[in-house]
Structure 1
Amino acid sequence: MATGFFWDESCFWHAGGNYAFTVPFGGLVQPLAAGGIPENPETKRRLKNLMDVTGLSAELAAQSAPNATRDMLERVHPASYLDAFKAASDAGGGEMGPNVPFARGGYEIATLSAGLTVAAVDAVASGTLENAYALSRPPGHHCEPEKPMGFCLLANIAIAIEVAKAKGLLGRVAVLDWDVHHGNGTENIYYARDDVLTISLHQEGNYPLTTGAITDRGTGAGEGYNINLPMHAGSGHTAYLHALDRVVIPALEAFKPDIIIVACGYDAAIIDPLSRMQATVETFGAMTRKIKETAARLCDGKLVLVHEGGYSEVYVPFCGHATIAALSGSSIDAPDPLAIAMNNRQPSPAFDLFLRQSIDDMAQQLDL
């Protein structure tokens, strides 16, 4: 079985609408590079281009997917929200939540983004593919059922989970979110449920400001099935790998999921403009290998990575390439163009020890 790669050029045409000032976007007017918002298409388009140039794309089962249907969306989002989103999209775009602008046609592009995730999860859960990567855009991990946030208009991963559950393909699902921002949307959707384990590694005090505390463990049946690891600013390669070894993997082993889904943001990278972390290309490849090995032990290798944040047009493509190469087991390498400079900027041994000790302290607090 191959590694699936789900993508569509149309997703790169999502734009910021009213954030783009006087430039008309939507329909057949392709957005400018930035599209009016920091979550711009070039980080994703350049990743796909890099994969084409190195030959990695040719090793994958690359494909698009149908848009998520209204029935699929309503498994997570209420009809009132979807109606309002579609009406605003048809009327030329707008903004339905903080930091979530969209242009005309934004609804259709968002449903395509969700559809890529649905197809990726379906293919892996059903055994058609060994594992998969969904290059979904707009992203989804901040979106709550009735509240879009942080560039996220639909809860892509949650929609895919609920569709697969409705088909009887999945029971217990683990969602690991290593985007630098807290995965508040996924947490909100599953906070009172024990069939979905949500784990978020994020920079403490970044975005959103009011969510992501280590003490937020779930409620009712979901108590203990939500894990937040708010990491100190400055955390780098060894801290992230230690977090996986000390917290994430033990939690996954205890939960025994049928599939692992990663909300795969690259904004913990060392030169990302929206964070103060120090992960590198090597970090993302190493994290992917660890989770792939864990999935092989726990759930027959069923693993799906879904693209979330990451805002450096230069660095995201190399982080993503390392991730997808590790996921597929490819030997094709795209060397980190900033490797020497990035390694020289890693935390000092003393600070790194402090970071790892703080993770150990949080693991104790979480009883892991």
Structure 2
Amino acid sequence: MRTGFFWDERCFWHAGGNYALTLPLGGLVQPLAAGGLPESPETKRRLKNLMDVTGLSRELEMRHAPEASWADLARIHPEDFLQEFKTLSDAGGGELGLRTPFITGGFEVAALSAGLAKAALLAVLRGELDNAYALSRPPGHHCLPDWPNGFCLLNNIGIAIEAAKAEGLAGRIAVIDWDVHHGNGTEAVFYDRDDVLTISLHQEYNYPLDTGDITDRGTGAGLGYNMNIPLPPGVGHDGYLEAMDTIVVPALERFKPDVIIIACGFDAGIYDPLARMLCTAETFRLMTRQVKQAAADLCDGKLVMVHEGGYSEAYVPFCGHAVLEELSGSATAAADPMAETVAIRQPNARMNSFFSTLIAEMAEELLGSRA
């Protein structure tokens, strides 16, 4: 299995400066790590370090990529937004949108993050790789065409998709977003189109508070090609696998994509500070297995994963390692040090029954109309 891993040390250097939501810095207010943002480079750096220590890195095709070009970005984002972003970045940094601070050079790092996603997708579509993982940072799935938010400055996956389409490499593309927060940006980009199927599994009413409802199905030609699976807090291993099996995979089978992209956030993990889900490293491994099998059945195995959220510095590396083991077929393992603990913290039988009924109802609603 030729699995590519796209990364760049410069992505770890993205920062928000001394950024705090409510308190001024100085005096008795100690500056906060990572500028006060939970979107820290350490979750990604520690994943890469773990791969190096276990030897998994040596089994993958480790690649770099150039920044996405201005033309690449402009297929998704308006020129005036890009110019404002670039001007502010050159002037020392600042903030656009909501919770998207950046320092000098933030524009270039965001373009590099998008470039990693683009390069991963193009390499798979060209047949250079069987599948690929892009360790993109800053993330992208919350960024609307003209309004960045939720730590996301550019829409990495949207930019990659439009670059692939510009080269005539794919017609129908499916995006599965299992980040715990609703993929509102990617939804907005493709909401009126029938050539891109967008599916978001997320904790209901987490972030953003006012998007991600099951009734938001697209508009115009895109009606039925946007699917939201809002899950209540507390869903764990069994519930996520059931949602994938009963909703996501059948939707893929109906759509018959040329390639599948996963917006791969790890914040549904049990130790994440920004969510209340109970997924484990094994959950992410088995969801990867489900999608990998669907890709083998539907699109010659063409599968690309783009890193999104995940804020537990200790646990994200093990979730990511499990995904990459499965993606590449590697036997190089990083045993989950919390496996026994997380196993006993899963929902009980009564709660799993409730979640199962809810997922079945959502499957009936979502799959009963065009997808």
Residue identity in the other structure for 1:186: T
Q: For the Cα contact (< 8 Å) 1:217–1:225, is it kept in 2?
A: yes
State the Cα RMSD in Å: 1.4
Query: How many angstroms apart in 1 are the aligned matches of 2:257 and 2:269?
Result: 28
Q: Secondary structure at the match of 1:260?
A: strand
Q: Secondary structure at the match of 2:224?
A: coil
Superposed displacement of residue 18, structure 1: 4.4
Superposed displacement of residue 17, structure 1: 2.1
Superposed displacement of residue 232, structure 1: 1.1
What does the per-residue CA deviation read over 1:121-165, in whole Å, with 9 as the maximum and x for residues that have no partner?
000011110000000000000000000010000000000000000
Query: How many angstroms apart in 1 are the aligned matches of 2:143 and 2:172?
Result: 22
Q: Structure 2: which 5+ residue stretches go unaligned?
A: none
Superposed displacement of residue 35, structure 1: 4.2
- Residue 203 in structure 1 maps to residue 203 in structure 2: yes
- Residue 222 in structure 1 maps to residue 222 in structure 2: yes
Q: Secondary structure at the match of 1:16?
A: coil
- Residue 191 in structure 1 maps to residue 191 in structure 2: yes
Superposed displacement of residue 33, structure 1: 5.7
Q: Secondary structure at the match of 2:19?
A: helix
Residue identity in the other structure for 1:56: L
Select between 96-105 and 32-41 the one with higher mean Cα deviation: 32-41
- Residue 2 in structure 1 maps to residue 2 in structure 2: yes
Superposed displacement of residue 22, structure 1: 6.4
Change (3 A) 1:155 1:120: same
Correspondence list, 1:1-368, <5 A? 2-19=2-19, 34-368=34-368
Residue identity in the other structure for 2:167: K
Residue identity in the other structure for 2:3: T
Query: How many angstroms apart in 2 are the aligned matches of 1:141 and 1:98?
Result: 14
Residue identity in the other structure for 1:48: K
Q: For the Cα contact (< 8 Å) 1:18–1:103, is it kept in 2?
A: no
Residue identity in the other structure for 1:135: L
Q: For the Cα contact (< 8 Å) 1:33–1:42, is it kept in 2?
A: no
Superposed displacement of residue 367, structure 1: 2.8
Query: How many angstroms apart in 2 are the aligned matches of 1:126 and 1:35?
Result: 40
Query: How many angstroms apart in 1 are the aligned matches of 2:307 and 2:32?
Result: 21
Change (3 A) 1:81 1:18: farther
**Percent identity of paired positions between Structure 1 and Structure 2:** 66
Query: How many angstroms apart in 2 are the aligned matches of 1:265 and 1:367?
Result: 24
Query: How many angstroms apart in 1 are the aligned matches of 2:308 and 2:247?
Result: 22
Structure 2 length-normalised TM: 0.95
Q: Secondary structure at the match of 1:107?
A: helix
Superposed displacement of residue 36, structure 1: 3.4
Query: How many angstroms apart in 2 are the aligned matches of 1:247 and 1:73?
Result: 32
Q: For the Cα contact (< 8 Å) 2:17–2:34, is it kept in 1?
A: no
Residue identity in the other structure for 2:262: V
- Count of aligned positions: 361
Query: How many angstroms apart in 1 are the aligned matches of 2:360 and 2:25?
Result: 51
Residue identity in the other structure for 1:106: G
Residue identity in the other structure for 1:351: M
Q: Secondary structure at the match of 2:36?
A: coil
What does the per-residue CA deviation read over 1:15-54, in whole Å, with 9 as the maximum and x for residues that have no partner?
012417769xxxxxxx996243110000000000000000
Q: Secondary structure at the match of 1:62?
A: strand
Q: For the Cα contact (< 8 Å) 2:251–2:367, is it kept in 1?
A: no
Q: Secondary structure at the match of 1:34?
A: helix
Residue identity in the other structure for 1:278: L
Superposed displacement of residue 63, structure 1: 1.0
Query: How many angstroms apart in 2 are the aligned matches of 1:294 and 1:287?
Result: 11
Q: Secondary structure at the match of 1:17?
A: coil
Query: How many angstroms apart in 2 are the aligned matches of 1:59 and 1:32?
Result: 37
What does the per-residue CA deviation read over 1:231-290, in whole Å, with 9 as the maximum and x for residues that have no partner?
010000000000011000000000000000000000000010000000000000000011
Residue identity in the other structure for 1:258: D
